[in-house]
Amino acid sequence: MENRKMAEPVSLPAGGSAKETNQDDRGPGQYNSNTEPLVYTIAEAAALLKIGRSLVYNLANNGELPVIRLSKRILIPRKALLDMLEGLKGRAKQL
């Protein structure tokens, strides 16, 4: 039987990631984990909008809220959510 040496544990910086990056280190369009997520789940979108999940499902199924379907998962892009709210804001002014 071979003697295999176990790898030494690596200590991470205080931030918890192997490489801490500054905003200046990233190119344009690169994702920053400290910002808002790119997509939301149905439950997260419902909580943000302060509405029920069933209403979010209805909006998604009616095409009023664009979604991304990955197998059984339904994800709502942040931009789609903001665009929908912007459209509703325009309708509210007409009332």
Instruction: Convert the pLDDT of each residue in 15-43 to its tens digit.
Output: 544 444 444 455 555 656 678 899 999 99
- What is the CATH topology of the domain spanning 37-94? Multidrug-efflux Transporter Regulator; Chain: A; Domain 2 (1.10.1660)
Sheet holding 68-70, edge to edge: 39-41, 73-77, 68-70
- pLDDT for the residue 23: 47
- Measured CA to CA, the distance from residue 40 to residue 17 in angstroms comes to 23
Q: pTM of the prediction? A: 0.59
- Tell me which residue of 13, 9, 11, 60 sits closest to 39, measured CA to CA: 60
- pLDDT for the residue 93: 64
> Is the confidence at residue 5, as pLDDT, over 80?
no
Domain-wise residue ranges, the chain: 37-94
Instruction: Convert the pLDDT of each residue in 59-83 to its tens digit.
Output: 999 999 999 999 999 999 999 999 9
